[in-house]
């Protein structure tokens, strides 16, 4: 589990990327980049008075197509649609945006049905695609307004997923999540999961599970889910992810 404070940086990076600014994206890495500046602070989300972890009713998974099964899976090099997610272009890498969905067992050394990974995996997983871009990203907004009353009285979330890469290469994937209020302003700190190293995977192709559980800050109206694929070496962005989930834990009497 990692705590990363970068809500405005994520927005700035994507905005600059769409606008075509190469300088703003150079060297960006969600594992190490810190933001906002020191003169901007956030109140950490914490348990409201009188609320305990006992008596929790979990919601359904709030991420649409978190298992990459809603669309076709390709061979890991073909550009496939990713329903439920918005692709963002890295202008310095050109088009089309090659972040894709691949099938387990695709030729070329991709994860298989027996590689380390989720036991309940389907046919597909998220893949960085056939390019050597520094990073690529998928984004999805989770509407938390249906949970407004629960959040006001104290609710937690669990963010989870499986993340990995190829053999000894350091390409990796992870999710960074940020909360916004009803006016679109970022609140609290972002949370990140995943981004395993090759050593974490024992230099084997596969995916590892990671998750974080924390309190949802008061006033949160949406959660931005950012799936980053980070390139290190090789002819492809061999960053993989699957079974992404965001669950709201509503505390009951």
38 token code pair:
């020191």
For residues 89-98, one letter each, b for 16 or more C-beta atoms within 10 angstroms of the residue's C-beta and e for the rest, the string is: bbbebeeebb
Q: How many CB atoms lie within 10 A of CB 105?
A: 12
Q: Are residues 244 and 65 in contact, defined by beta-carbon separation less than 8 angstroms?
A: no
* Domain containing residue 72: 2-251
Q: Are residues 83 and 70 in contact, defined by beta-carbon separation less than 8 angstroms?
A: yes
User: Model confidence at 55, in pLDDT bands (50, 70, 90)?
Assistant: low
User: In DSSP terms, which residues pair with 239 in a beta bridge?
Assistant: 165
Q: How many structural domains does the chain have?
A: 1
* Predicted TM-score (pTM) of this structure: 0.82
Task: Name the residue with tokens 């597909």.
Answer: 124
State pLDDT tens for residues 75-105: 888 888 899 999 876 666 666 667 899 999 9
CATH number at residue 206: 2.60.120.260
State pLDDT tens for residues 7-23: 444 444 444 333 333 33
Taking phi first (over 0 means left), then psi (-120 to 50 degrees means alpha), and beta for anything else, what does residue 68 get?
A: left
């Amino acid at each position: 589990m990692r705590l990363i404070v970068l809500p405005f940086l994520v927005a700035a990076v994507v905005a600059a990327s769409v606008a075509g600014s190469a300088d703003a994206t150079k060297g960006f890495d969600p594992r190490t980049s810190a933001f906002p500046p020191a003169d901007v602070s956030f109140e950490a989300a914490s348990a409201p008075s009188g609320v305990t972890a006992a008596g929790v009713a979990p919601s359904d998974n709030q991420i649409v197509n978190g298992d990459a099964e809603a669309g076709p899976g390709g061979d890991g090099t073909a550009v496939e649609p990713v329903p439920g997610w918005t692709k963002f272009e890295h202008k310095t890498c050109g088009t089309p945006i090659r972040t894709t969905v691949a099938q387990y067992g695709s030729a070329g050394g991709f994860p298989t049905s027996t590689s380390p990974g989720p036991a309940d995996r389907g046919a597909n997983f998220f893949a960085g695609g056939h390019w050597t871009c520094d990073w690529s990203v998928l984004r999805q907004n989770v509407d938390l307004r249906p949970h407004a009353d629960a959040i006001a009285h104290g609710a937690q979330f669990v963010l989870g997923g499986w993340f990995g890469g190829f053999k000894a290469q350091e390409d990796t994937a992870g999710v960074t999540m940020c909360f916004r209020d009803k006016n679109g302003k970022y609140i609290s700190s972002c949370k990140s999961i995943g981004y395993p190293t090759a050593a974490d995977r024992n230099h084997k192709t596969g995916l590892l599970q990671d998750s974080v559980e924390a309190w949802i800050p008061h006033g949160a109206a949406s959660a931005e889910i950012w799936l980053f694929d980070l390139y290190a070496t090789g002819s492809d962005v061999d960053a993989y992810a699957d079974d992404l989930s965001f669950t709201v834990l509503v505390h009951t009497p």
